[in-house]
Every structure is written in structure tokens, then in C-alpha cells.
Chains A and B, each alone.
Chain A
Amino acid sequence: ETAVFQTPNYHVTQVGNEVSFNCKQTLGHDTMYWYKQDSKKLLKIMFSYNNKQLIVNETVPRRFSPQSSDKAHLNLRIKSVEPEDSAVYLCASSYRGRDTQYFGPGTRLLVL
């Protein structure tokens, strides 16, 4: 049963455009994450928010910016996308930033 929702499922855009992905969790968790998964299935954390505050910010290009309105929502904006941004972006949540993380189905981005 899905409890972490992501939109859109799939997005195609051109180099230089801006895109925004949404994530919502209904689990009552206080920590949310964004991961990037490349074509080889390699999964890397990008950001982590706890109660609307950024607590993990891996080395990602500045064109990526997370946005949190409340602890149930964490969006990801990419300004001026580049071809290497093509990937699946996965949102996850957990309680108190530990242990089990619950993932959404992902947003697949294709940059032409």
C-alpha cells in the first residue's frame, strides 16, 4: 500500500528547462529524503529534511534545491536541467531519521 506519493511519474524536458517534482507522505514521519537513481540502479542520497529543516545536503549541483512546506511534503526543483540529470528521483520518509525508510515509486526524468 503506497504511503509515499510522487508526482509526476515521468517527465521529459529539454536542456536548460526548470522542473519540479512533488513528494507527499501520509505516514506521519518527520524525516524525508530525496535520492537519485541512475541507469545502473545506483542509489545516492541527495537531501534529507527533518521537521522542515535541511539536515543532509550531499554534494549536488546548485541547480538542485529541495523545498519543504511541512513535514509531510518535500519537493525537488531543478533549475536549468542538464543531460546528466536524466535519472529516477526517489522520495523516501522515515521516523526520526533512522532505520526503515519508505520509498515512493519515483519520478523518471528524461532530459533531451
Chain B
Amino acid sequence: SQLAEENSWALSVHEGESVTVNCSYKTSITALQWYRQKSGKGPAQLILIRSNEREKRNGRLRATLDTSSQSSSLSITATRCEDTAVYFCATDYGSSGNKLIFGIGTLLSVKP
């Protein structure tokens, strides 16, 4: 079963708008990661947020983590066409490491 999953299959916005992708998970974690996968490429990490952190930023990206509700969000401001990709959240198995469980992914389309 999926231990991490995004809450939307697909989102569509226009350039310049902001968008948020949500993720929920079902076990205790040491960290949650957000990855982006563009067409024909492998996933690339965007942000890693640890269980003792509530927010992390990376340029136009902002990730939040709520361990009480076991959820995370990734917000993108001032979206660009090149932000079009599949966004995944991924969690570890707590202290076991060596294995990431990826969510089902959210396809974000940014239109001109």
C-alpha cells in the first residue's frame, strides 16, 4: 500500500499563478521529500523537510510539514511553463533508511 500520496492526480494553472500540491502519509517519518519529474527525465529533488521542521523554502518553492496531521504541501508561486511536470512526495521508513516510498504523483500543467 502507498505510504505517501498526493491528493490530486492533476492540476492546471496559468503562468504567473500560484499552486499547491498536497501530500499525506501514513507512518512516522524522519523526513519528507518533494521531487519533480519532467517529461523524459528522472525525478529531481526539490526540497527535503525533516520531521522537526515546519517549513522549508527553495526559491519560488515552499514546503510545509504537519506531523500531527501527517501531511505536507508544496507551493509554487509565480509559476512558469517550465514548471510543468509530475510532482511527487516521498517518505522514508523512519529510521530504517535506504528506501523511499513515493506518492502517486500530481501532474501539474502550467499554461501560457
A: residues with CB less than 8 A from B are 4, 31, 40-45, 48, 50, 55-56, 90, 92, 96-106
A-side contacts of B41, CB under 8 Å: 105-106
Which residues of B in the span 85-99 have a Cβ within 8 Å of any Cβ on A? 86, 88, 92, 97-99
CB distance from A31 to the nearest CB of B (A): 7
Give the B interface residue count (CB, 8 A): 22
Q: Is the CB of A100 within 8 A of B48?
A: yes
Q: Is the CB of A50 within 8 A of B98?
A: yes
Knowing A90-B42, A97-B98, say if A41 contacts B48 (CB, 8 Å): no
Total of A-B residue pairs, C-beta within 8 Å: 53
B-side contacts of A104, CB under 8 Å: 42
Stretch at the interface among B54-62, B65-73, B76-84, B100-108: B100-108
B-side contacts of A56, CB under 8 Å: 98-99
Residue of chain A at shortest CB distance from B88: A43
Query: In the docked arrangement, what's the CA distance between A84 and B40, Å?
Result: 20
Query: In the docked arrangement, what's the CA distance between A103 and B89, Å?
Result: 15
Q: Is the CB of A103 within 8 A of B44?
A: yes
Q: Is the CB of A100 within 8 A of B33?
A: yes
CB distance from A87 to the nearest CB of B (A): 14
Q: Is the CB of B104 within 8 A of A40?
A: yes
5 residue pairs bridging A and B, Cβ less than 8 Å apart: A41-B37, A41-B105, A50-B98, A90-B42, A103-B43
Residue of chain B at shortest CB distance from A35: B102
Additional A-B contact list (5), CB under 8 Å, known A31-B98, A41-B105? A41-B104, A55-B98, A92-B42, A101-B45, A101-B100
Residue of chain A at shortest CB distance from B107: A41
B31 CB within 8 Å of chain A: yes
CB distance from B86 to the nearest CB of A (A): 5
Residue of chain B at shortest CB distance from A48: B98
Residue of chain B at shortest CB distance from A6: B42
Which residues of B in the span 27-55 have a Cβ within 8 Å of any Cβ on A? 31, 33, 37, 40-45, 48
Query: In the docked arrangement, what's the CA distance between A98 and B97, Å?
Result: 6
